[in-house]
Amino acid sequence: MMQEIPLTHILFVSTALFFIGMYGLFTRRNLITMLMSIELMLNSVNINFVAFNKYLFPDNLEGLFFTLFIITIAAAEAAVAIAIIINLYRSHHSIDVEDATEMKY
Amino acid sequence: MNISSILFYAISALILGAGVLAVTSVKIFRAAIWLLFSLIGIAALYFWMQVEFIAAIQIVVYVGGIVVLIIFSIFLTQNSGKEMNSPTMGKKIFSAMAALFGIAFVGNLIAQYEGFAYPSAKPFDPNVAEIGTQMLSTTSHGFILPFEVVSMLLLAAMVGCIVIAMRPKNDTENISLNNNETK
């Protein structure tokens, strides 16, 4: 089982996923889609943690714990971000970042 | 090329293809659904790596929690069938160039270690009992302190969400006042 896939191929996948998330963060101007891009980037990091744990340190479980804590914090972060987005929508009637300019300059 | 490696490349194609569509789709609801597929693909990758517990957590928290939360907020804040403003061509080109440069740069670094590590001969089967024991253990390899800290963080996030999203009190009074006036 899975003897043929070296660690580097998994790292290629997570690298590509990270930069796809970065592209989304640069091009999107809608707060919800920017949050979605951040979720993709966090997930690519999780893949790395699990892959390194499995391939290099099969005796330990540290990578799995890091993944678990990152997932927990990502959930808390998404909840707070969506509360802020809903509050912003209530005051600006838009969740476009270009429309929230009170603190610009 | 055995069945396991074919499975790995199929899962990777699913993750990356759905990820690209999630960041480029012009309809926000479709972007959320593509994100859902990408996260399911990542859960499949965890199953492929035989870390079933993490895969289950990924499905429960991301697919069942965060994506549903995002879809709810899309329904609350905008017209979901409407197309979003497309970014300007210059911004698209420069972002794509930045992302491609990043992929090429990091990929080049990784490629130097091609064939660096294959799965070790030792079996890696973290069962849930082991994870639970180590999570709550107070010895030097235990994770009880981060566990408690993260529980405080979740409590704070819960209270914070309610406070942030709550309508200010005088605001509701104004609305009820207006309603009375219209009556």
Residues in chain A, pLDDT under 50: none
Highest mean pLDDT: which of B66-70, B77-81, B176-180? B66-70
Is any Cβ of chain A less than 8 angstroms from the Cβ of B69? yes
The model's pTM: 0.88
Distance from CA of B180 to the nearest CA of A (A): 22
Q: Is residue A1 part of a domain?
A: no
**How wide is the angle at C-alpha A5 spanned by C-alphas B124 and A57, nearest 5°?**
30
Q: Is residue A80 part of a domain?
A: yes
CB < 8 Å to A22, chain B = 98-99, 102
Q: Is residue A82 part of a domain?
A: yes
Q: Is residue A102 part of a domain?
A: no
Q: Is residue A11 part of a domain?
A: yes
Q: Give residue B179's pLDDT.
A: 54
- Residue B148 to residue B83: CA distance in whole angstroms: 43
With 70 as the cut, is the pLDDT of residue B149 above it?
yes
Q: CA of B60: which chain A residue's CA is closest? A: A71
- Residue B26 to residue B28: CA distance in whole angstroms: 6
Q: How many CB pairs under 8 A join A and B?
A: 234
Is any Cβ of chain A less than 8 angstroms from the Cβ of B26? no
The count of structural domains within chain A is 1
Q: Give residue B183's pLDDT.
A: 43
Residue type, B149: V
CB < 8 Å to B66, chain A = 39, 74-75, 78
Which of B12-15's residues contact partners 24+ apart within 8 Å by CB, and which partners? B12/A9, B12/A13, B12/B45, B14/B38, B14/B41, B14/B44, B15/A13, B15/A17, B15/B41, B15/B42, B15/B45
Interface of B with A in 142-161 (CB under 8 A): 143, 146, 150, 153-154, 157-158, 160-161
DSSP B149-168: HHHHHHHHHHHHHHHHHSPP
B27 — phi, psi (to 5°)? -95, 125
Of A46, A69, A82, the CB nearest to B150: A69
Q: How far is CA A32 from its chain centroid?
A: 13
Q: Supply the CATH number for residue A17's domain.
A: 1.10.287.3510
Q: Which domain holds residue A26?
A: 7-95
Q: CA of A45: which chain B residue's CA is closest? A: B42
Question: Are the beta carbons of A78 and B77 separated by less than 8 Å?
Answer: no
- Note the pLDDT tens digit of each residue in B70-92: 998 988 887 656 777 777 888 88
With 70 as the cut, is the pLDDT of residue B180 above it?
no
Q: Is residue A14 part of a domain?
A: yes
CB < 8 Å to B118, chain A = 3, 5-7, 55
Is any Cβ of chain A less than 8 angstroms from the Cβ of B132? no
Q: Is residue A100 part of a domain?
A: no
ipTM for the whole complex: 0.91
Q: Is residue A47 part of a domain?
A: yes
Segment (H or E) for B96: helix B89-111
With 90 as the cut, is the pLDDT of residue B15 above it?
yes
Question: Are the beta carbons of B153 and A76 separated by less than 8 Å?
Answer: yes
- Note the pLDDT tens digit of each residue in A25-54: 999 888 899 999 999 999 999 999 999 998
Question: Are the beta carbons of A6 and B95 separated by less than 8 Å?
Answer: no
- Note the pLDDT tens digit of each residue in B97-140: 999 999 999 999 998 888 776 666 677 777 888 888 888 888 88
Question: Are the beta carbons of B143 and A21 separated by less than 8 Å?
Answer: no
